[in-house]
């Protein structure tokens, strides 16, 4: 309690607690929905555990467009309630819950015609602004002339773009944010262990009393006892319901979404760009010194753990972007590609167990067992609240109301004041001002923990690699404080080297392993195995990318 560290010692303690304690709530799944539910429950004063079969955010929650947004396209579907809810969450995150992690981001909506379209889109964006309510952390929309567009976004074709409307949404490093919510839950007493896969339920009659789960690092089977088991397994929901012999009131189908990563020089624009396509929208999103462009939306039935991009996905993205860009994007510009799977919920009409909502669905398929699926990253907090409200009924006692609307994520406290002191921190620590800002925007006030590590071992103040801002101390910290258990966890999720560094960061795998090996107490063989496991993942992805690019 009161520490938010999730290092190797905490994992050992968590495993002991999982095997011996009885929890009010056990959460299956450490994506954003699961960690949101764990935080919601822990901060209501409940005794909470969470396990994930792999790493935190290793499923969909590390592969999104990384936008915290109301969803402009839902406006066109007149789904005002949904947009209002998501915008409320966006304002909360930017202003108080996670200002160190969730940043405002401006988008241009290019126009192709001078009057009618400007009036229509302008009215839509005025409504989008109005739906924020009174708490306004982000500026409102603004009309931009064709002349001004040439200054802000020279890459937008002047022959077809007649002007634009600029509006704001927000951006987050999804995997980092999910991990920080998990750490906040730990801070409030939750017991969290990754690499613990739930295999079956423990039942008495029809009532679910917990689960049997496997520690995949040792192979040991653990029985975890809980009054309410809460499944937040996203795209794994159907598979798990079936293996547990439970019938839920919904099915989860998968839709694949691909993004490509480009160098900053590929698109000349000071702001992000949103393009309307025949089926949805395409985002051109600034990401440090790169662009992330996507996404696609295609039905998927393959391997859930490792979705890969295909030729058609990359072709579609480049063709759609090239409708408005000059110079056109070239296949050789692409430096990275990633794919994710949306959990789309289809509710069964005849189900009485399902509480319907347009975005997410909460379900109780057995006494002691509830689940939630669907929704979007932006509304994770509401999803956590809704599923814990339902799980609370299982506890047969008065459960406090959710408090997460007023509960900042660790690192948020004092962040804004610290940004004003960046120069002083730079002088005192010997780090460059740019490094201090980089650290503040990833750790907020937890920067003090990194500075302590650097003080104890000044070699860790050095960058891991040139051209990217990560310090060696961050790699160390990923294992000592942030729950990373492998080279893959560090390269793919604690940092985003997997799509930011050349060659999927394969060349950095050994350096990363050398830094984390002593923290995790690895033998030389364990170190070698973790490097090889990452190289296997990276090679598979590089092969898929090469195939996708070769013929695109």
Binding-site member from 4, 10, 31, 138 for ligand FAD (CB under 6 A): 31
Q: Pick the piece of the chain touching ligand FAD (CB under 6 A) from 40-48, 120-128, 371-379, 440-448.
A: 371-379
Pick 59 or 163: Cβ nearer ligand FAD: 59
Among residues 6, 23, 29, 431, the one that binds ligand FAD under rule CB under 6 A: 29
| Shortest CB 473 distance to ligand FAD, Å | 27
Q: Which is nearer to ligand FAD, 210 or 234 (CB)?
A: 234
244 closest CA partner among 270, 284, 208, 281:
208
240 binds ligand FAD (CB under 6 A): yes
The rounded distance, in Å, linking the Cα atoms of 420 and 266 is: 33
* Minimum CB distance to ligand FAD, residue 422 (Å): 29
Q: Which stretch binds ligand FAD (CB under 6 A): 48-56, 74-82, 125-133, 415-423?
A: 48-56
Q: Is 227 in the site for ligand FAD (CB under 6 A)?
A: no
CB of 472 to ligand FAD, least distance (A): 27
Stretch that binds ligand FAD, among 32-40, 271-279, 316-324, 500-508 (CB under 6 A): 32-40
Residue ranges of alpha helices (H) inside 275-351 are 311-322
Cα 210-212-214 angle, rounded to 5 deg: 140
Per rule CB under 6 A, count of chain residues that contact ligand FAD: 38
- Which one of 193, 235, 478, 513 is in contact with ligand FAD (CB under 6 A)? 235
CA 213 to chain CA centroid, Å, is 25
* Neighbouring residues of 303: CB distance < 8 A, sequence distance ≥ 6: none
Of 404, 368, 398, nearest to 386 by C-alpha is: 404
Furthest CA-CA distance within the chain: 72
Binders of ligand FAD among residues 449 to 468 (CB under 6 A) are none
Q: Is 284 left (phi over 0), alpha (psi -120 to 50) or beta?
A: beta
Peptide bond into 327 cis (omega under 30): yes
CB of 374 to ligand FAD, least distance (A): 7
**Contacting ligand FAD (CB under 6 A), which of 5, 197, 268, 326?**
197
One of 7, 30, 210, 384 touching ligand FAD (CB under 6 A): 30
- Considering only the stretches 56-64, 222-230, 316-324, 532-540, report the one whose residues sit in contact with ligand FAD under the rule CB under 6 A: 56-64
**Does residue 236 interact with ligand FAD by CB under 6 A?**
yes
Backbone angles phi, psi at 371, to 5 degrees: -150, 165
Residue of 11, 14, 15, 33 interacting with ligand FAD (CB under 6 A): 33
Which residues does residue 482 pair with via DSSP β-bridges, in sequence order? 6
Q: Is position 229 an interface residue for ligand FAD (rule: CB under 6 A)?
A: no
- Rounded least distance, CB 71 to ligand FAD, Å: 8
Compare residues 291 and 377 and give the one whose CB is closer to ligand FAD: 377
- For the chain, the distance separating the N- and C-terminal CA atoms, rounded to the nearest angstrom, is 52
* Contact between 508 and ligand FAD per CB under 6 A: no
Q: Determine if 292 is a binding residue for ligand FAD (CB under 6 A).
A: no
CA–CA dist 541, 303 (Å, integer): 13
Q: Contact with ligand FAD (CB under 6 A): which of 368, 375, 411, 469?
A: 375
Using rule CB under 6 A, residue 51 touches ligand FAD: yes
Listed residue (141, 235, 173) closest to 441, CA to CA? 173
Looking at residues 295 to 314 of the shown chain, list those that interact with ligand FAD (rule: CB under 6 A). 295
Of 33, 48, 54, 69, nearest in space to 181 by CA: 33
- The residues in 59-88 that bind ligand FAD, with binding defined as CB under 6 A, are 59-61, 63-67
CB 235 within 8 A of CB 345: no
Query: Strands, E, within 100-249: which ranges?
Result: 103-111, 142-144, 163-171, 191-193, 196-204, 207-215, 221-231
- Judged by CB, which is closer to ligand FAD: 197, or 276? 197
CB 256 within 8 A of CB 50: no
In the bound state with ligand FAD, the residue whose beta carbon lies nearer, of 155 and 295, is 295
Contact present, 41 and 385 (Cβ < 8 Å): no
Helices of type H across 396-504: 415-420, 422-429, 433-443, 447-456, 472-480, 487-488, 497-500
Site for ligand FAD in 332-351 (CB under 6 A): 340-343
Asked whether 516 and 484 are in contact (CB, 8 A), the reply is yes
Q: Give me the phi and psi of 99, to 5 degrees please.
A: -65, -20
Query: Which residues contact ligand FAD by CB under 6 A?
Result: 28-34, 51-54, 58-61, 63-67, 197-198, 232-236, 240, 257, 295, 340-343, 375-378
């Amino acid at each position: 309690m009161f520490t938010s560290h999730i290092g190797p010692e905490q994992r050992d303690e968590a495993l002991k607690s999982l095997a011996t304690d009885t929890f009010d709530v056990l959460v299956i799944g450490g994506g954003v929905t699961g960690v949101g539910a764990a935080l919601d429950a822990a901060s209501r004063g409940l005794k909470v555990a969470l396990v994930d079969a792999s790493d935190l955010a290793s499923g969909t929650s590390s592969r999104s467009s990384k936008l915290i947004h109301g969803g402009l396209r839902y406006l066109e579907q007149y789904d005002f309630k949904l947009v209002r809810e998501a915008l409320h969450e966006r304002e909360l995150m930017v202003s108080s819950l996670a200002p160190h992690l969730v940043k405002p981001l401006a988008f241009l909506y290019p126009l192709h015609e001078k009057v009618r379209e400007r009036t229509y889109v302008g009215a839509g964006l005025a409504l989008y602004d109005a739906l924020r309510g009174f708490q306004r952390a982000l500026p409102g929309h603004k009309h931009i002339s064709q002349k001004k567009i040439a200054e802000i976004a020279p890459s937008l074709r002047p022959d077809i773009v007649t002007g634009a409307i600029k509006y704001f949404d927000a951006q987050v490093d999804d995997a980092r944010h999910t991990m920080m919510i998990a750490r906040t839950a730990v801070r409030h007493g939750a017991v969290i262990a990754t690499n613990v896969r739930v295999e079956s339920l423990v039942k008495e009659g029809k009532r679910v009393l917990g689960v049997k789960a496997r520690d995949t690092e040792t192979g040991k089977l653990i029985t975890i006892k809980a009054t309410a088991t809460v499944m937040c397994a996203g795209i794994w929901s159907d598979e798990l319901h079936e293996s547990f012999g439970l019938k839920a009131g919904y099915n989860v189908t998968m839709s694949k979404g691909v993004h490509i990563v480009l160098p900053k020089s590929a698109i000349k624009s000071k702001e992000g760009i949103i393009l309307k396509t025949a089926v949805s929208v395409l985002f051109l999103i600034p990401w440090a010194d790169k662009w992330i462009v996507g996404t696609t939306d295609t039905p998927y039935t393959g391997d859930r753990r490792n979705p890969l991009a295909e030729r058609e996905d990359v072709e579609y993205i480049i063709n759609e972007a090239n409708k408005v860009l000059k110079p056109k994007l070239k296949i050789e510009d692409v430096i990275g590609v990633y794919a994710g799977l949306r959990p789309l919920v289809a509710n069964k009409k005849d189900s009485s167990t399902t509480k319907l909502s347009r975005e997410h669905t909460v379900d109780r398929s057995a006494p002691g067992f509830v689940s939630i699926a669907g929704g979007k990253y932006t509304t994770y907090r509401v999803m956590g609240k809704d599923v814990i409200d339902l799980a609370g009924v299982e506890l047969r006692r008065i459960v406090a109301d959710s408090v997460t609307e007023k509960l900042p994520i660790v690192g948020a406290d004092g962040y804004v004041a610290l940004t004003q002191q960046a120069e002083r921190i730079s002088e005192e620590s010997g780090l460059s001002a740019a490094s201090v800002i980089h650290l503040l925007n990833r750790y907020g006030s937890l920067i003090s923990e990194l500075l302590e590590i650097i003080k104890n071992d000044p070699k860790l103040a050095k960058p891991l690699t040139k051209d990217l801002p990560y310090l060696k101390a961050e790699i160390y910290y990923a294992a000592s404080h942030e729950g990373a258990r492998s080279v893959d966890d560090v390269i793919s999720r604690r940092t985003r080297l997997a799509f930011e560094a050349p060659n999927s960061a394969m060349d950095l795998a050994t350096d990363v392993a050398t830094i984390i090996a002593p923290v995790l107490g690895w033998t030389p063989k364990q170190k070698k195995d973790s490097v090889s496991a990452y190289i296997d993942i990276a090679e598979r992805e590089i092969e898929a990318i090469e195939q996708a690019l070769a013929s695109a």
